[in-house]
Amino acid sequence: MRLPSLIKAVLWSFVGVRRRADATRDVEQAPAWMIVIVALIVAAVFIAGIASLVRLVAGTRERPAAGVSVEAPSPPTTTSPKLHGPVAVNDTMAERMVACTTCHGRTTQATKDAFSPRLAGKPAGYLFHQMVSFRDGRRTYPPMVYLVQYMTDGYMREIAEYFEQLDLPYPPPEPLTLPPQAIARARQLVEHGDAARDLPACVECHGESLSGLAPAIPGLLGLPSHYIAAQFGAWRGGKMRSLPPDCMGEVARRLAPDDIATLAAWLAAQPVPAKMKPGTQGSRRLPLTCGSVTAATR
Ligand code: HEC
Ligand code: HEC
pLDDT above 90 (res 14): no
SS3 146: helix
Q: How far is the CA of 150 from the centre of ligand 2 (A)?
A: 27
Measured by CA distance, the residue closest to atom 36 of ligand 1 is: 100
Q: How far is the CA of 134 from the centre of ligand 2 (A)?
A: 17
Bridge partner residues of 279 (DSSP)? 213
Measured by CA distance, the residue closest to atom 14 of ligand 2 is: 217
pLDDT above 80 (res 22): no
What is residue 71's predicted lDDT score, i.e. its pLDDT? 43
Mean pLDDT of the chain: 83
Query: Which residues line the pocket of ligand 1, CB cutoff 6 A?
Result: 99-100, 102-104, 115-117, 119, 122, 127, 130-131, 139, 141, 143-144, 147, 159
Mean pLDDT of all residues in 201-217: 96
In degrees and rounded to multiples of 5, residue 199 shows phi and psi of -105, 120
**Residue 203 neighbours by CB under 8 Å, 6+ apart:** 190, 191, 210
pLDDT above 70 (res 101): yes
Percent above pLDDT 70 for the chain: 77
Q: How far is the CA of 117 from the centre of ligand 1 (A)?
A: 7
Measured by CA distance, the residue closest to atom 6 of ligand 2 is: 202
Residue 252 in contact with residue 232, Cβ under 8 Å?
yes
What is residue 72's predicted lDDT score, i.e. its pLDDT? 42
Q: How far is the CA of 98 from the centre of ligand 2 (A)?
A: 28
Taking the CA of residue 247 as reference, the ligand 2 atom at the shortest distance is 1
For the CA atoms of 38, 42, 48, 53, what is the dihedral angle to 10 degrees?
Answer: 170
pLDDT above 70 (res 79): no
Q: How far is the CA of 217 from the centre of ligand 1 (A)?
A: 17
Q: Report the phi/psi class of residue 40: left, alpha or beta, with left for phi > 0 and alpha for psi in -120 to 50.
A: alpha
For the CA atoms of 164, 223, 211, 245, what is the dihedral angle to 10 degrees?
Answer: -80
The residue whose CB lies within 8 Å of the most ligand 1 atoms, and thus the one to mutate among 116, 144, 162, is 144
pLDDT band at residue 66 under the 50/70/90 scheme: very low
Query: Which residues line the pocket of ligand 2, CB cutoff 6 A?
Result: 117, 126, 129, 189, 200, 202, 204-206, 216-218, 220, 223, 228, 231, 242, 247-248, 251, 263, 286-288, 290, 292-293
In degrees and rounded to multiples of 5, residue 140 shows phi and psi of -125, 5
Closest listed residue to residue 264, CA positions, set 227, 294, 289, 236: 227
Ligand nearest, relative to CA of residue 247 = 2
Measured by CA distance, the residue closest to atom 12 of ligand 2 is: 217
pLDDT in tens, 239-294: 999 999 999 999 999 999 999 999 999 999 999 998 888 999 988 999 999 999 99
Q: How far is the CA of 151 from the centre of ligand 1 (A)?
A: 14
**Residue 117 neighbours by CB under 8 Å, 6+ apart:** 104, 111, 223, 227
Q: For the CA atoms of the chain, what is the radius of gyration? A: 30
pLDDT band at residue 98 under the 50/70/90 scheme: confident
Taking the CA of residue 239 as reference, the ligand 1 atom at the shortest distance is 18
